[in-house]
Amino acid sequence: MSQLPPCPACGSEFTYEDGIQFVCPECAHEWTTAEAAAEAQSVQISDANGNPLADGDSVTVIKDLKVKGSSLVIKVGTRVKNIRLVDGDHDIDCRIEGIGPMKLKSTVVKKS
């Protein structure tokens, strides 16, 4: 049995397919598969304070970070410009002055 997405309006798990649309029997909301795919990809990445991040933003590191495999430390207050958001555990891809390319978690930065 295939797994159908829950209703985006009320969250009901009892959705069913009607041709190319999904239908919720509880609230009568109808949506297409394209809308369901767009809904699944619209995951928003936010900083430690809950502010949404976007490609090209500048962020500031909020705690000391040890660089794995090195004796370098990224200090609190280090400003990182022109970030790129990626999928995965470390969701920020950036370049830090004096250190080089780096992947950061969004929970250790705040938007500048």
Model pLDDT for residues 32-71, shown as the tens digit of each residue: 877 766 665 656 889 999 999 999 999 999 999 999 999 9
Does the structure show a pLDDT above 90 at 3?
Answer: no
**DSSP codes joined into one string, 45-81:** PB-TTS-B--TT--EEE-S-EEPTTSS-EEPTT-EE-
Q: What is the structure's pLDDT at 19? A: 87
Mean pLDDT for the chain?
A: 88
Q: What is the structure's pLDDT at 1? A: 44
Alpha-carbon gap, residue 12 to 14, rounded angstroms: 6
Q: Kindly state the percentage of the chain with pLDDT values over 90.
A: 62
Q: What is the structure's pLDDT at 38? A: 66
Amino acid at 20: I
Does the structure show a pLDDT above 50 at 31?
Answer: yes
